[in-house]
Structures are given as structure tokens and as C-alpha cells.
Structure 1
Amino acid sequence: MNKKLLSITIPNRGILLLLIYIITYSNISAQKKEESPNWHIPDLSETETNLISKDTYVEIEDVIPIRNTKYKIRVPKNWNGTLISDLDYYDAANSKKYLYLLEKGYAMSGTKRRPGRLSNYDPAHEIHDIISVLDIFEATFGKPGRTIQYGCSGGGTITLAIAEIHPDRFDGGIAGCGATSPWMANTHLDGLFVLKALIAPELPIIDLPLYNPEIGEVEKKWKEAISEAQKTPEGRARIALAITIGQWPAWGGPGEAPHDAPNEDDYLALQESMFNSLFMLLPSQGTFGTTMLELSGGGQLKSNDGIDYKELYNNGYEKYKSAVNKLYKEAGINLKDDLKKVNAFPRIEADAVAKKYWSAPGRTHIGEPKIPLLRIHTKGDGLVYPSMAQGYEDLVKANGYHDFYRSAFVERWGHCSFSLSEFLAALETMEQRLDKGEWPDTSSKSMNERANKLLSNSESKFFEMERVEKYNRVWIPTKKEYLGE
């Protein structure tokens, strides 16, 4: 064991998280590590398709020395001058999407996510890797006519940041299901906090282990508690309250959709869908997202100190709130009493070291894109909740940067589960914005027409997403937080 690692001065909670990781990792080092559930990111796997002849393009595949990050570049002989950069291009190079673009004359570049990312996640370093690859590209092939940064999930996260802090190197960005890490941590916290306060006060929601068997035991207990709650009118009402306050989707999770989207005007069907989605999103090895943020930042990132959960409830989706009111009336319990109970429950405070870490440029977002930025999101995303995208859009408008920004939503279950035609429609939208200096129509009708014109045999399901009254967890770091005070 590295003695220097244990000599780092961090808060007690950060030490606990670090020790959990070291002990857990030691226990599984001699075993085959379990893989996380499929979060349905189809472009990250080798797709069965006809590969393009290597005679038609030039490929560079190598490693960036500073962090040993693998990267790949492909430039077709019929290059049209546009470069598409993607955090995940290394593994996605032979996907239908990128082979299609290669044939159309687009150059592509990007990386493979670095080993150890679960315990050392740093989007700022990932951005540095992307720019290092761009430097290599320009030194080898010359400066592209335009460079568009694209990415899903963590790739969407760095795309949002690149649009804010690197307008000198990129011309546009398309961010799919991208998270703002501190926002996501607290959005995850709120729904679980309500469940803990009202259903399972003995179960943990912070300082969670990453790997089995420890996290498996936590998952089992949470699923037992929620299953029992779902059997009673009171429990069903409180599950709906948690989803509404957390601004989590009532239809969303990993893999393929187990059922169709509910009729949100049918409160019983909506609650059943809330339960089914929640059941897949309780703490587990597959929902490690915010635990990895704490391990990276050296301390507890989640916080609800000073949060008024009555206000958070009022900010929720109207149809969700309507269902909650009906369910509480049906159960014969008082919603105001439960909100008071949640507000009185012991709070969680973030560590200054974690807030300092996540305050840095590239690790968070402040709503100031300086190049055209299109954000696309799936409705059924149970990992990066769609309400987060609305919070960013509202912040962009408040900051006066809306001319640079547009968003579009897809009515599909899953995280980053975009079809090829939907991706092509997003790219065409961005190219029109760069060509003409103004956005084309980004309504769902126009986006679907664009998608169907580009690729008629691929499903396109852009739709007008219902908005929450207000996204609950926008966080802009203060000077003190940035300094770690």
C-alpha cells in the first residue's frame, strides 16, 4: 500500500470513503470484478455492421503520455473539413454512428475513459486529454475547418464545460444526457432523503461503498423497505412524494424499458411507474454515480443543509404533484405533516474540500456557453435526470447566453439511448447554426422532420418535455467554496 496515500490530510468523512475504497478493492482484487448494469449507451460497444475499408481513411491509435490515456483519430480521404471530437470515440469508432459519418467525410477523434475513473474521476483532466488529442490532430492533419465536441453521459458533462471554457478551440458542442456533478449529487440526495425520513430511517444514503458484497447488502435492504412500502396506501403516497421532490423521472432506468411510459393523467398508473423506476435506482453497484464523485473530491459532496423540502415539492412537475395529492387523500394521511417531518429530519452537510474540488473550471458548470451548444436528453434517464437540463437552460437564460444555447428532448427510456437519426438531426441542427449564425427551428416537430429526412429507417422521437416549476439544485460556487473555506 502506498504510505503517501494515507498521509494526505482530508476530513474524517473523506478518509472513511477512501478506506472503504481501499478495503473493498483489496477484497475483490483476486476476483473477477462485476460489471455495472447496462445503462443503454449503444455507441460505446462494437456494433455489428459492415466495416469501412481502411484504404479510405488514415488512422492514428496511441497513448497520451501524461496520463496513459488511449486515443484514436480517423480522417477519411474525402474529409469535408469538420472534426467530431468525443470523449468515448476510442471504443465507439466502429459504431454505426461513426462509420456512417466517416463515409460522409467527417474526421473523428477522441479517447478511451481512463482506468481508475471510479475512484479518481476528474472531468477537467478528461478535457485536458481531449485537447491533447486535438493538438495531435492539428499537428498531423492541420487545423479543421470546424471542430464540434460531442459526448454522452460523462462525455456530455465535458461538452458542457468545453462550451463554457474553451471557445478558442471548439466551434460548437452537442451534449447528450450530460450531468453537472454537484447538481446531480444533490438531486440524487433529495429523493433518497425523503425515503429515509419517511420510510427507512435506519438505511444509509451517503458514504456508500462502490462494490459488492457491501453495496449489495445495502441494495437488498433498500429494495425490501420500498417493496413493503408499496404494499400500503401510505407507502405508495410517500414513494410518489420522494420522486416528486427529487425531480426524478417516473419512467426511467438502465437497460431496456420494462414497461411503456405511463399515462401521467392516471395517478395510479403514474405511481406504479414511479415505484418500478425507483426500484431500479436505489443504492446499488449500478448507481455508483455520486459515490465516485465523493471519492474523487476527497469528501462528502451531497448537502441539504438549509433546504426547505416544502419549497422543493412545490417546484415539482404538476402532474406528479397532482398524483401525490390524490394518493395522500386516498391514504388518509396529511401531506403537510409529512413535509414537516422531512424538514425536521437530521441534515447532511458537504465537506469544504469536496466543494472546493468541484468548484474548479471543467468540473462544474455556471451557465455561460460561449459557443453554440445543443443539449439533448432522453425522458427516461434515471441516471442524469432531465430536470437538470432544464435547470441549466434557465441559468443560461438568466445569464444572458441563450443565443448560444438550445435543448431538445427524446421520449425514450434509458440513459443516452438516442437513435442514429436523432443524433444526425442534432448534428445537422448544429451545422446549420454554425453555417448561418442563427439557430434553425429546434421544436420537436422540426427535429423529427430533420431526422426522418436524413435517415428514414431510424426511429425519431423528439417531443416537448413537460417542465418542472423550477429545478431545485442549481449550484454556483462562491468565492469561499472555490477557496475551500
Structure 2
Amino acid sequence: MKLNNRYSIKGNSLMFLVLLVSNLLFFTVVSAQGEDQNWHLPDLSEKFKSHPKGIFVELADSIPIRGTLYRIRVPKNWNGILLSDLDYYKSADSQRNVKLLEMGYALSGTKRRPGRMKAYDPAHEIHDIISVLDIFEANFGKPSKTIQLGCSGGGTITIAMAEIHPDRIDGAIALCGATSPWMANTHLDALFVLKALLAPELPILEIPLKGAEMQSIAKDWENVVKAAQKTPEGRARIALAITIGQWQAWGGKGEAPVPNPNLNNTIELQNSMYESLVRLLPNRGTFGTTMIELAAPGQIKGNTDVDYREFYENGNELYKKTVEDLYKKAGISLKSDIKKVNNFPRIKADASAKKWWSKPGRTHIGEPKIPFLRLSTSGDGLVYPAMVKGYEDLVVKNGYSKLFRSAYVNRWGHCTFSVGEWLAAIETVKQRIEKGVWPNTKPKELNRLAKKLDSNSKAEYFEFKTVKKYNRTWVPDINDFIGE
């Protein structure tokens, strides 16, 4: 282990000594007369690292055995609260994290491991985060409060931490966090509709992450969807795929190609569906669910028991209105197309994959045991916001509503939150931990709080119109656990 990249400590036997050092750093004054009191300890009173935005102690090293890189920073004005983030290692100098240090928060986290794309396992990432929490406590003592937070994959493990490690954290904030098996099957459904109605010959499973074959498949799918958009029938079927799949009509990577559509305007909404879809079709930039497919032994995606008529009925009401308008204008039967999708050859998930994803930390069951705030951007084309509805319903069913809140930001993209929006979320969970009741989490109040904490930030929390019911909630049962 390295302290501040200058003072090296070898061997676990010195952990206790390091803890004493940290206590001296933060809670005692070392005088010139006190040298004989701690002659056996390294003098770290001058080891704070200077930074343009503040002064802090830093630990940056790798976790023994696993080798995952981690980073810890504790400011001189530490308020006793630790913010733990899966992706802190690389984001430590971001505007957001430097500001949090200025505000007195300690921060810690890891760097994502090499090979993650082909060997993804959120349970292992949780193990890494727990290890970093252990290292933090051994060096700096137990924080007064620990809040686990993170975006994307960091949000995924945050949800799990709230459910299975309430002994290690006091609060949780998951931003654009996926439940991997849910996400995989939500991704499957829209593509399955497109395959059934537009391109039976094109693959939708086990698509390579890169290479000539990937590029060929991507081009073929792009050509199919672009051709469909030129006909009334094709436009109707694109809208049907988005609606059944519960994908966002406005969401994706990069810059938004069109303004956020008026959901009551059929032409605007359908065009936005198309523009989003062409950016979410299989290609090198949409590797998220391929990564999930590669994680487990066997295929997690499946739809053998799905009734796509029911899935359509569960969709966003305004999306359905657009679908019905388009089908009427095209002069084709919506009922017949849904029947065709229902009759198309199905995909069976492997029991081995279900067994693997059933393990704690790899999926979520809707039982947060500490205050938990879940945030999403409305224009997230990677981690579908509809999943939050599925989680909310599980939380209500399981009786954990007092511990859970959700909020949405009106913005295109995945994890595109402003600094102020992050700070408002952190302050909200902090207040819930300290007072035992949730402060106001309505959009107006969250926006006011975001502006108060960072006046230069955008603050765009809003009331989000979501799906009637999320289609792909999956909670493992005994057969899943034993692999039958």
C-alpha cells in the first residue's frame, strides 16, 4: 500500500499503526515537543497533497490479490462523510469530485478492471468496493456516514449494495443504474419486433463486440431501418418496436439529433423514435447488452413465455396513441402485426445463465435496506428509464417504500447529470440519513437545491411520463437458483 504515493507501507501488520497515524492527522496536534510520543510512527503532518481546489491526503494503490486500482482522498476539512464510487479512480479530478472535496467530503473508489467487457461481474465489483471501504477504515477510521453512489455500472452495484450490504453503507444514490438481466431482455424485445416485422434474416443475439462481422451486421440493420422510415408501414412498425420494447423515444449516445419531442405530436414523436433507434441498433457503440450476454455461461436473453400483446398494453400511453395513429394512416392492422410478432420463433434463455445472474450482487430484488435515491436521465438510450418503474413496483410490493425515492432529469444521454444535480441528490440522501425522514424530493425542490449548491449548473429535474408497467422485471426463484 502507498500513502500519498511517497510513503510506502509493507505488510498487514502495520495496518493498526496506520490507523493511529490517521487519527493523529485529523484529531490531534503534533507538537515539536511530542517527538518521543510517537517515535515509532511516520510523521505525516506535512504529507497533505496540495491541489488548486484544496488540500487532502491521498491513497492510490491496488487491492491485494485482485489487483484492482483504487484511489482515496480525504480533505483536511473532512466532514466525516465518505462518498464511495465505483469509478472514482479516473474521475477524481473532475469538477464534481473536486467540488465535493472542497465541501469536506472524503471520496473513494476504483478503476474498472481490464477485460471487463468480456468478463463482466457486478458481484466482483462489489467485492472491490468493500475492500476499498476496509482500506479506508483501516487508514482513516470509520466514517460517520458512508454513501455509496455511482453512474451506469456504478449505479448497478449501488442498487445491490443498498439491498445486500446495509451494514457497510448508510445511504445510496444510483444514477442510470441497470439491473443487467432486465436490461438484456428489454434490449431484446424491440429488436425482436423489428426482426419479426422487418428483417427475419438479421441476427439480434451474440453479436460480436467488434470486427468486420460486427460492422456488416450494423450496416445491414441500419439499412433496414432507414428503408422502413421511408414508408408509412415502416414508420408504424418502428414506433411499435420502441413501444413494445419500452425503449426511450428520445435517447442515445452523443448529441441529440432532434429536440425533445412533443409526445402528443405523432410526427415529432415518431421521427424522434427513428432517430433514437438508428443510434441504438447493434453497432460498436451499443455493446452494453453484448457484455451482459458474455458475462454468464449461457444466454440470459429469452422470450419463450412473453405475450407481446400484453407487453404493448403495458407501454407508455402516448407512445401507444402514436402507434395507433400511424397504423391507421398506413392502412395496416396493428392486431395482425402483434400476432405476427407473437407467432415468430422464440428465444430460450439458458438455465445456466439464470443461475449465474441469480446470485446476490448480480441482480436486484427490490429490497433496499438503507435510504436509497435512484436517478435517471429521460434521454438514456443505454439503461432504459422504464426499468425504474419495475423497481419502484417491487419496492412497493415488498414494503420498502419508506426507504426509496426516484427522480428524473430531462436530458438526452446516459449519465449526463450536471454537478448541481449530483449535489442535490447527495444533500437529499444526507438529510434523509440524518433526520430519518425524506426531505421534499419533488422536481421543483430538487432544482432549487441544485441551484443553491452550484449556481452555475443546469437543474432540470422534472415529472417524467413513464410506462404503465415495466415488462421485464425478473426476481429469481428456487428453480433459477439451482439452475433448472
Same fold judged by TM-score > 0.5? yes
Deviation at 1:346, TM superposition (A): 0.2
> What's the counterpart of residue 55 of structure 2?
56
**Cα deviation, residue 467, structure 1:** 2.2
Matches within 5 A, 1:153-192: 153-192=152-191
Question: 2:136 matched to which residue of 1?
Answer: 137
Q: How does 1:464-483 map to 2 (within 5 A)?
A: 464-483=463-482
Partner of 1:9: none
Give the conservation status (yes or no) of the 8 Å contact 2:54–2:101. no
Distance change (3 Å), C-alpha of 1:227 and 1:54: closer
The aligned residue for residue 391 of structure 1 is: 390
Partner of 2:21: none
Once the two structures are superposed, residues 305-345 of structure 1 have per-residue CA deviations (whole angstroms, 9 ceiling, x without a partner) of 11000000000001100000000000000000000000000
1:225 CA displacement: 0.4
Aligned to 1:228: 227
Equivalent AA in structure 1 for residue 274 of structure 2: F
Q: Does 1:400 align with 2:392?
A: no
Partner of residue 241, structure 1: 240
Any gaps of 5 or more consecutive residues in structure 1? 1-50
Q: 1:55/1:375 Cα in 2 relative to 1: closer, same or farther (>3 Å)?
A: closer
Give the letter aligned to residue 271 of structure 2: E
Normalised by the size of structure 1, how large is the TM-score? 0.89
How do 1:253-268 and structure 2 match up within 5 A?
Answer: 253-268=252-267
RMSD: 1.0
Question: In structure 2, how many angstroms separate the alpha carbons of the residues matched to 1:288 and 1:173?
Answer: 27
- Counterparts of 1:189-200 in structure 2 under 5 Å? 189-200=188-199
Compared with structure 1, are the counterparts of its residues 476 and 55 closer, same or farther at alpha carbon in structure 2 (3 Å cutoff)?
Answer: closer
Q: Which has the larger displacement, 236-245 or 298-307?
A: 298-307
In the TM superposition, residue 52 of structure 1 has moved relative to its aligned partner by: 2.5
Q: Tell me, yes or no, if the aligned pair for 1:81 and 1:106 is still in contact at 8 Å.
A: yes
**8 Å Cα contact 1:301/1:354 also seen in 2:** yes
Q: Which residue of 1 aligns with 2:116?
A: 117
Q: Distance in 1 between matches of 2:208 and 2:456?
A: 44
Cα displacement string for residues 424-446 of structure 1 (whole angstroms, at most 9, x for unaligned residues): 11011101101110001111111
1:108 to partner: Cα distance:
0.4
Equivalences for residues 336-415 of structure 1 within 5 A:
336-415=335-414
The aligned residue for residue 445 of structure 1 is 444
- Mapped contact 2:72–2:109 kept (Cα < 8 A): yes
Distance change (3 Å), C-alpha of 1:55 and 1:326 = closer
Query: Which residue does 2:67 correspond to in 1?
Result: 68
CA displacement, residues 234-260 of structure 1 (integer Å, 9 cap, x when unaligned): 000000000000000000001121221
* 2:461 alignment partner in structure 1: 462
2:426 equivalent in structure 1: 427
2:93 maps to 1:94: yes
Q: CA deviation at 1:483?
A: 1.1
Does the Cα contact within 8 Å between 2:79 and 2:105 map onto a contact in 1?
yes
Match of 1:26 in 2: none
Task: Output one character per residue of 1:102-144: Cα deviation in whole Å (capped at 9) or x when no partner.
Answer: 0111100000000000010000000000000000000000000
CA separation in 1, counterparts of 2:198 and 2:52? Answer: 58
Instruction: State yes or no: 1:215 paired with 2:214.
Output: yes
Look at both structures and tell me which one has the larger radius of gyration over its CA atoms: 2
8 A Cα contact 1:90 1:112, kept in partner: yes
Q: Write the distance in 2 (CA, Å) between the matches of 1:249 and 1:295.
A: 25
Runs (4 or more) in structure 1 with deviation over 6 Å come to none
| Cα pair 1:52 1:99 within 8 Å, conserved | no
* 2:448 aligned counterpart, secondary structure: helix
Distance between the aligned counterparts of 1:272 and 1:212, measured in 2?
A: 30
Question: How far 1:66 moved relative to its partner?
Answer: 2.2
Distance in 2 between the 1:105 and 1:61 partners? 19
Deviations 1:62-110 (A, max 9, x none): 0012221000000011100000000000000000010001011110000
SS at match of 1:286: coil
The answer to whether the 8 Å contact 2:242/2:249 transfers is: yes
Q: Secondary structure at the match of 1:449?
A: helix
Matches within 5 A, 1:20-59: 52-53=51-52, 56-59=55-58
Q: SS at the partner of 1:409?
A: strand
- SS of the residue 1:287 aligns to: coil
Query: Kindly, what percent of the aligned residue pairs are identical?
Result: 65
Look up the SS of the partner of 1:109 in the other structure: strand
- 1:291 aligned partner: 290
* Structure 2 partner of 1:151: 150
Aligned residues: 435
For 2:404 and 2:53, the matched residues in 1 are separated by 37
- How far residue 457 of structure 1 moved from its aligned partner, in angstroms, is 1.4
TM-score by length of 2: 0.89
Q: Structure 2 CA distance, aligned partners of 1:180 and 1:371?
A: 18
1:40 matched to which residue of 2?
none
1:203 counterpart residue number: 202
Q: Secondary structure at the match of 1:430?
A: helix
CA distance in 2, matches of 1:311, 1:329: 20
Instruction: Report if aligned partners of 2:373, 2:429 keep a CA contact under 8 Å in 1.
Output: yes
Matches within 5 A, 1:279-318: 279-318=278-317
**Structure 2 CA distance, aligned partners of 1:401 and 1:68?**
36
CA contact (8 A) 1:61 1:73 kept: yes
What amino acid is the match of 1:165?
Answer: I
C-alpha displacement of 1:478: 1.0
Alpha-carbon shift at residue 452 of structure 1 (Å):
1.3
